[in-house]
Chain A
Amino acid sequence: NAGVTQTPKFQVLKTGQSMTLQCAQDMNHNSMYWYRQDPGMGLRLIYYSASEGTTDKGEVPNGYNVSRLNKREFSLRLESAAPSQTSVYFCASRDVWTGELFFGEGSRLTVL
């Protein structure tokens, strides 16, 4: 009963390095989301994918790219990491029938 799985759980990068956060869900959900969470800022939407083959920008998309690889997987890429991207990143998927949102455990990223 995995739900939403994110990898890696922790990562330290140097400024300018690139990396990809992976997310997979096994609930056959169409919609998937990437959020970041920072102290005092709450959850902010980076990108989302309403269905396989589509992606849309959220509130804070600058510096990120996404790929909806298939229905199960939605990855988030930082092409040139900056200290301002130090955060906890959460992936989520949504049940289209009930509207319920399910989250992964998060990925803690530190950019030095």
Chain B
Amino acid sequence: KQEVTQIPAALSVPEGENLVLNCSFTDSAIYNLQWFRQDPGKGLTSLLLIQSSQREQTSGRLNASLDKSSGRSTLYIAASQPGDSATYLCAVNSGNTPLVFGKGTRLSVIA
């Protein structure tokens, strides 16, 4: 059974710092991995989707990498801003079964 873990559960950084959020999964037989952002009281917004054949995806200040063999993905946020404060979740797609989610990392960027 696929399990997804995100460490740390919470992270606080000063504005301007570059940071890395981690996501690990137990079964490397995945189709893709998706990173989401969730603001308090809101739904989940898709940030990046990495297919299993890809090593990384970039969108603006965000870069997500995928290492299937080690069961890990990282979300790199460059030059963090207070507006980046949110909970970040990763989810793994292992085929026609529903995605498996981590519990998220709650990020606070302090001005």
Contacts and interface: CB of A to CB of B under 8 A. Distances in A.
Interface of B: 31-32, 34, 36, 41-46, 49, 51, 89, 91, 93, 96, 98-99, 101-104
B43 A33 contact: no
Given A99-B93, A100-B49, A42 B98 contact: no
Nearest to A88: B41
Nearest to A90: B43
A42 B101 contact: yes
Given A43-B89, A43-B101, A45-B98, A100 B42 contact: no
Contacts of B31: 99
Contacts of B98: 33, 45, 48, 58
Contacts of A92: 44
Contact of A42 (B34, B96, B102): B102
B34 A100 contact: yes
A103 B44 contact: yes
Contacts, number: 46
Interface of A: 33, 40-43, 45, 48, 50, 58, 90, 92, 94, 98-106
Nearest to B6: A42
User: Which of B42, B44, B91, B93 lies at the interface centre, i.e. has the most chain A CB atoms within 10 A of its CB?
Assistant: B44
16 contacts: A41-B103, A42-B102, A43-B89, A45-B98, A50-B96, A58-B98, A90-B43, A92-B44, A98-B49, A98-B51, A99-B31, A99-B34, A99-B49, A99-B51, A102-B46, A106-B42
Contacts of A99: 31-32, 34, 49, 51, 93
A39 B79 CA distance: 29
